[in-house]
Copies of this chain bind each other. A is one copy, B any other.
Amino acid sequence: MTQKVTIALDAMGGDLGPEAVIPAVLATLEKDDSVNFLVVGSPNTLDGVRAKAGDRYGSRLIFASAAEIVGMDEHPADALRHKKHSSMRIAIEAVKSGEADACVSSGNTGALMAISHYVLKMLPGVDRPAIIGAVPSLSGYTFMLDLGANVGCNARHLFQFALMGSVVAEDFLDIERARIGLLNIGQEDIKGNEVVREAGEQLNQSDLNYVGFVEGDAVFSGEVDVIVSDGFVGNVALKTMEGVAGLITVIMREEFSRNPIRQLQSLSAYSALNAIRNRLDTRRYNGASLLGLNGVVIKSHGGADKFAFECAIQTAIVEARKGVPVQIGRLIKTQGAQCTHM
């Protein structure tokens, strides 16, 4: 029997807010009867959902009313201090209390980090939370972290990211001994800065399946399952990817609508173009995890629509079922001790 899980949702986060979250909830409830939801939103929003869903889902769909909303541009420290009744905070607190097994929000990333950190606390032995996400590769997916939680990192942080990333990659890809690469500007041992080189040495001495330094194109080549970097570099790489994918999409659209002949070509090539569009659809990879915390917190893209939010919910379900935080806690106890600087 599939393990039942309850996911808490911040219905007010993201550009679309409840317009994306509620349809995603209802779709998931229909598809998967092992998933329950706790939807946190403004009283008006919840009234709307109740009117729509009626009694159809019984205790599988419960609600919590939130008096406040964290703004997308709000300073994280302000959100932490002054928005104690926000939908984001209440969703995270449901994970803390055990009422939910995971929470998902499309809201302000910095605030989600700050509040999660404060409410859930770090796992013992983990210094810093990190954001991990999946990107498409030639062979399937590659997991990248940190995507922006930490601007400056030392070798010990990178080591912990590698450890946490391997847990996530193994759980999602259903593999053993995920291959780990450290993002660098060359593959030779002499390349890069001191932090990266020291992290490489520590990983070499560990039981983790560390492959060595990799360059930016390894994200897509499929040569590793996990790519580790500090949050500055990881965030730039992620945004660059989004940018180039967007540019190529625009170029394709421009060329296939340049004149009536090209428009006909686009019609006749519809099935191939559609398949390409689907494979490049970034919504499929939506749902980044905040790792290192005592609980599962999933950050959905701020611009997520219904489909993208459903994908983020799936990420939350997998992490909740696999017990990612417990696994990380266990691994850091055994592996962390191997690292001389830990």
Contacts and interface: CB of A to CB of B under 8 A. Distances in A.
Interface of A: 75, 136-138, 148, 151-152, 183, 185, 190, 192-193, 215-221, 229, 231-233, 235-248, 250-252, 255-256, 258, 261-262, 265-266, 268-272, 275-276, 279-280
Contacts of A231: 185
8 closest A-B pairs by CB:
A216-B239, A217-B243, A216-B240, A269-B269, A220-B247, A220-B243, A185-B235, A265-B269
Contacts of A246: 217, 220
A151 B192 contact: yes
A25 to B, nearest CB: 30
A40 to B, nearest CB: 26
Contact of A269 (B151, B242, B258, B266): B266
A100 to B, nearest CB: 29
B216 A235 contact: yes
Given A248-B248, A255-B272, A265-B270, 8 more contacts: A137-B247, A151-B185, A192-B232, A216-B240, A216-B243, A219-B244, A229-B236, A269-B269
Contacts of A266: 269, 272
Contacts of A276: 248, 251-252, 255
Nearest to A268: B268
A155 to B, nearest CB: 15
Contacts of A272: 255-256, 258, 262, 265-266, 269
A252 to B, nearest CB: 6
Given A248-B248, A251-B280, A265-B272, A185 B236 contact: yes
Contact of A245 (B185, B239, B244, B256): B244
Contact of A240 (B151, B219, B251): B219
Nearest to A232: B185
Given A232-B192, A239-B216, A246-B217, A265 B262 contact: no
Contacts of A245: 244, 248
A193 B152 contact: yes
B233 A236 contact: yes
Contacts of A216: 235-243
B241 A138 contact: no
A11 to B, nearest CB: 25
A221 to B, nearest CB: 7
Contact of A271 (B148, B243, B265, B280): B265
Nearest to A250: B138
B219 A243 contact: yes
Given A242-B217, A243-B218, A272-B265, A183 B258 contact: no
